Amino acid sequence: MKTATSMQAKAMGKVAVLMGGSSAERDISLLSGQGVLTALQSRGIDAHAFDPQLRSLWELKDQGFSRCFIALHGRHGEDGTVQGALELMGIAYTGSGVMASSIAVDKVMTKRIWQAHGLATPAYRVLGPDAQSDVQQLHALAGALGLPFIVKPPHEGSSIGVTKVSDAAHTPEAVSLAARFDRDVLCEEFITGQELTCPVIGSGADARALPIVRIEAPEGAYDYQNKYFTDVVRYHCPSGLPPAQEHSIQAMVLASYRALGCRGWGRADLMLRASDGCAFLLEMNTSPGMTSHSLVPMSARAAGISYEDLCLQLLATAALDADSTRGKAA
């Protein structure tokens, strides 16, 4: 087993693996964080668990941490808030910066930017608080988006609060569920076809897409339970797609990543429409899962990168937004 050299480990300094947090994805974050922590420690890194729900972030500065591996998911971890705090403290961190994180966690803003860049994403409607009980607006969704359609909270991940509406009569129930997790509710056209995911590592011109993972869930139910706590979902990596199609989708994912200003790493989720083979972007995860069921490590393995080496590579990219703007004229 390879370990980081003593010089490399020293250069990394004291590392905090941020995990847990206060979002609805806390449990998954703890699993991700423990995996990353064990991997980094196995490579000789001075890494420590740090749960922002239990400790003040300012302890990071007081206790001499030099960089953070962000294994937080969802709000207060993947939305630019913790990134902003780390910017103020001058502690380098993995993943996207403040602006890219805050945009990518908002599925509606993400879709608007992708549309502005000419990138395909499913048609959608957004319901604010007043519209969520408006019978006329709820009734109009099936006509605007077709049946079935998807209802989801735009700021959550891990399929939390998501419903596939196949009968318009069930729309109010689906909207009510999503509204438990978010102020607004996103209603989205359902794309019939294959679900795909494609990780990206790196930044700017050096960013590269890893192999695509094709997901095969029972009856298309790739939900929270099946994602993390069962073995009924089948994952195909290599994806089995024709090479030209895979390369085209990877190029699309890179364009979507750069359009949002992401850096470090991320993972785009897509649907491949069965009728014509067109790909549609669903969302960009800027702090993807790193559990035993997670898809970035699976894709990395297919590219010849072990879980431990992936964690080391990502840690080495830790940076501050300030690093990219320092020295520029105001």
Do 196 and 176 share a structural domain? no
**Residues 167 and 309 placed together within one structural domain of the fold:** no
Which residues in the chain show pLDDT less than 50?
A: 222, 228-229, 326-330
Looking up residue 169, the CATH number of its domain turns out to be 3.30.1490.20
Task: Answer yes or no: do 213 and 246 share one domain.
Answer: yes
Same domain, 219 and 176: no
Q: Are residues 264 and 115 in the same domain?
A: yes
At residue 224, the pLDDT reads 52
Taking CA atoms, 284 is separated from 37, 142, 155, 196, 255, in Å, by: 24, 26, 11, 12, 12
Query: Domain containing 31: what range?
Result: 6-95
Let me know whether 136 and 78 are in one domain.
no
Report, as residue numbers or ranges, the catalytic residues: 25, 158, 228, 267, 269, 283, 285, 289
Query: What pLDDT is recorded for position 280?
Result: 98
End-of-domain residue from the set 189, 212, 238: 189
176-187 per-residue burial string, b: 16 or more CB within 10 A, e: under 16: ebbbebbebbbb
307 contact partners, CB below 8 Å, separation of at least 6: 35, 39, 297, 300, 301
327 within a domain of the structure (yes/no): no
**In-domain check, residue 322:** no
**Residue 330 falls within a domain, yes or no?**
no
Is residue 171, in this structure, part of any structural domain at all? yes
Rounded to whole angstroms, how far apart are CA atoms 326 and 330? Answer: 10
Same domain, 230 and 293: yes
Please check whether residues 240 and 108 belong to one and the same domain: yes
Same domain, 251 and 296: yes
Tokens in use for 153?
């909270």
Asked if 246 and 261 count as a contact pair (C-beta separation under 8 A), the reply is no
Beta-carbon contacts of 253 under 8 Å, excluding residues fewer than 6 positions away, are: 198, 200, 209, 268, 270, 281
What's the pLDDT at 327? 44
Longest dimension (CA), the chain: 65
Residue 131 lies in a domain: yes
CATH number at residue 57: 3.40.50.20
Query: Which of 141, 163, 189 is the C-terminal boundary of a domain?
Result: 189
In a domain, 178, yes or no: yes
Helix extents (H) in the chain? 6-12, 26-42, 59-62, 81-89, 98-104, 107-116, 135-145, 171-179, 224-228, 243-259, 295-302, 307-316, 321-325
Q: Are 182 and 196 members of one domain?
A: no
Question: What is the number of domains present in the chain?
Answer: 3
3-state secondary structure at position 18: strand
Same domain, 261 and 134: no
What angle is formed at CA 211 by the lines to CA 286 and CA 99, rounded to 5 degrees? 15
Based on the fold, state whether residues 279 and 184 are members of the same structural domain. no
C-alpha span between 122 and 223 (Å, rounded): 19
Structure tokens at 239: 């994806």
DSSP codes, 110-135: HHHHHHHTT-----EEEE-TTGGG-H
H or E stretch covering 44:
none
